[in-house]
Amino acid sequence: MNKSILRSTFALLNTDYVQLNKTWNYKNVTSTFYRLYYIDGGEGKLYNTNSTVKLEEGFLYLIPSFTTCSYYCDNYLSQYYITFAEQSADGASLFSSNRRLLSIKATDDVIVCVKKILQLNPNRTLKASYNPKVYEKRPILKGFDELNELMPASAYMETCGLLLQLISRFMVSGIFLTEDKGVINSKISDAINYIQTNLQQTITVTDLATRANHNADYFSRLFYESTGERPLTYIQSKRIERAQLLLTTTNLPFYDIATETGFENLSYFSRIFKNITGQTPSSYKKNSLLI
């Protein structure tokens, strides 16, 4: 368990302390990266179709990657924000089975971590815009990635360690690997890990069921009970998530991205991509390049 957790590392993109007003009102943002907010004054909210979380003083909030979320402030909100990328050798995500809006009480050591990240990285602000969608633009992401390369090794390592400390607080809180329904079935957990690490391969429900020593119908029901999604739907959503990340962070041709994410041809990839995101791959790519 612990070894599988440590396969993920986290790299800072941007951080700042800002004071916001009612113009901070953005709908249905699906980020390819993680966001942390520490609130030290005022009120706001995060919300999506599944939940609403009040932003209030003294709390730390985590929005995992690929978690669709809307942002709202009706008057005043002051916050420290941190945006960071997850990196792993096999492409798996630490929060792949629990992408919810998460919050914990900010203890003194948590506040120290947040402020220390900003102190170590004073040139990582986004003064041009506080729109969460702007954070996804490739020129901005490339710039922050280059800054990571230029940082002194000690500051870079300390920043990565502080990010891990903050993420660990959400694991301690008991809301990390469990859903409201309880601990996920071990065979379904294995199937999820297999899907995440083999997206470029052909994956069928029959193959997953055989791997779990179940027949396909029973496995599908068990998968749905554990995740709220059918296996095929889950596989397609993870393929598209990986495609979004590749579109945002690389210059790979669409055909190569389709192949890398396990789609048998470009037209099928484009159709599924639009069904899930509401955009064609080319539109999504174009939007990631606009500042």
Residue of 12, 205, 177 lying closest to 96 (CA atoms) = 177
Same domain flag for 148 and 189: no
Q: What is the pLDDT of residues 203-236, one digit of tens each?
A: 999 999 999 899 999 999 999 988 888 999 999 9
Q: Write the pLDDT tens digit of every residue in 173-213.
A: 544 444 444 456 778 878 887 887 788 899 999 999 999 89
Domain that holds residue 120: 2-177
Pair 21, 127 in one domain: yes
Q: Do residues 24 and 119 both lie within one domain?
A: yes
Q: Express as a percent the part of the chain with pLDDT over 70.
A: 82
Identify the residue with better confidence: 215 or 66.
Answer: 215
Q: What CATH code is carried by the domain that includes residue 164? A: 2.60.120.280
CA 3 to chain CA centroid, nearest Å: 20
Question: What is the per-residue pLDDT for 69?
Answer: 87
State pTM to two decimals: 0.72
Cβ–Cβ < 8 Å for 99, 66: yes
What tens digit of pLDDT does each residue of 240-251 get? 988 988 888 788
Give the pLDDT of residue 177: 44
User: Exposed (0-12), middle (13-18) or buried (19+): which is 146, by Cβ within 10 Å?
Assistant: exposed
| CATH code of residue 273 | 1.10.10.60
Question: Which pLDDT score is estimated for 136?
Answer: 55
| Domains held by the chain: number | 2
Confidence of residue 100 (pLDDT cuts 50, 70, 90): confident
Within the chain, what is the greatest distance between any pair of CA atoms?
A: 55
